[in-house]
Structure 1
Amino acid sequence: MTDVGYIGLGNMGASMVRRLLEQGHSVTVWNRSGRPVDELSKLGAVRAGSVAEAFAAGPVFSMLADDAAVDAVFDDATLAAAGAGAVHVNMATISVDAAKRQAERHKAAGVSYVASPVMGRPEMAAAGKLNLLVAGDDATITSLSPILDDLGGRVWRLGDTPERANLTKIAMNYLVIHALVAMSESIALAEKHGLAGKDLVELFSQTVLPGPVYTGYGTAIAGKKYVPAGFATVLGLKDLGLAAGAAAAVSLNLPTIDAIKDIFTAAIKDGYGEQDWAAIAETVRNP
């Protein structure tokens, strides 16, 4: 099978590495902290001493937290060391500006660059059922198909401009955030009038709003189950900032974004920052 490098071993990145190992790929891993590397090494991953060593193994996939982390790890010197002909697939949810900056930086170094942010939680990554939002050079993407197909239930090709994938992910996360707020408010309303939140979740998820967002997050909200976090509240606030930046770039007013930011900010202040972003429901329940 394919040799691949992987950088960034948080919940999502580590789950994808496990999936690749299970599918028979040889995976060389690097992380800024050592513990995830130790754990994955026990499963057969190869430890890289540097990002350059990960690039030497094959195409590098990465899942880092934000713009700053991506810029720090994939700086000009690192990309120059990777050398012409190297391939990097950036799976992080980053801003449109950062996506453009990375595309230019990679091009200058002769490194092929593909954006592939993902839709799905760590358990979906472990099962190879992610939705991959992919944009970049078509031939490069095709060459990566054996890896992408093992990671994703579906690969959505969004064109040859990498930032298109990042903008798509920002828009999708903004939609999910609205769903979280709407469910939080509706469930709180039902509960305040003596109805069971789980009954409302069963009703809407089996009638007008089926699907994993309403079923999964609705169940979490009704049952107040926010640990372990599939996606933390602090990252949700970060993604709201990405949506605000993308809207400002095209002079678009998003009427609800400030109110939603206030909810996320209050939830973090209330101690839910590292819990699943569905935990904003507790701030709605108890303002």
Structure 2
Amino acid sequence: MKHDTIATYAFPPGGLPGQDGDPEGTAILTEAYAVIPAHVMRDIVTSFLPGWTGTRAWILARPMTGFAETFAQYAVELAPGGGSDDPEPDHAAQAVIFVAHGEARLALGGDSHELRAGSYAYIPASAVWTIWNTGDAPCGFHWIRKRWTPAPGITPPDAFVTHESDVPRMEMPDCDGVWSTQRFADPLDLRHDMHVNIVSIESGGRIPFAETHVMEHGLYVLSGHGRYLLNKDWVEVGPGDFMWLRAFCPQACIATGDETFRYLLYKDVNRHPALSLK
């Protein structure tokens, strides 16, 4: 199936709703999952980060005991000229950056990369990096952080920078091409203990079974609409909505509407589970 490149990616809207807004909303927090809709990602819930200038961040997920414990996920907005020369406070943390809009310059391991909408960067633990907005408009990017887990005989992954248009969509088996995944890291490369991929489901397509597995998930909807099964509930989601799933939460979806349903997906992989609680 031929796919068109998507030129736009959802990002938190900011601002503040008018007084005619419905305060009940559609946000959900349960023991198995959370849904943070785009319309609640407003100015008053942002944070300003130490070591960053001209920057605000929506912190969408952080490790929580008894829920999802492996990762943190942010949507970061850089004002023109904003950024950081010392962005990561935890030297054990690896990261993925995915740019939703605007322009930025990423200096990573002695190399400089010009980022634009659709750019993807993997940043290993202990890497030296900086990022600055080089454009005249705000730059928004998704930032996912996880501590890298060492394993015997395994060395840390190498840094890389690419663009989603250069990463092929791999069609899932027996689905007539309506369900595909862009895998930015080789699934068989055991150096990677997290994957951040883009999943695409054409209108009417579906994940045809309730996945139930050990991996935690952060899912940020980049475009399109879907009905998502989360535990026992079917939830309507669309551009900019975020879903946060603990391990073993049953999950499936059906793409609705006319546009391809696409989301940025985090999962932890390729390591033995610890046999004691920390």
TM-score, normalised with respect to structure 1 = 0.27
Greater helix share, structure number: 1
TM-score, normalised with respect to structure 2 = 0.27
The one of the two structures with greater contact order (alpha-carbon pairs below 8 A, sep at least 6) is: 2
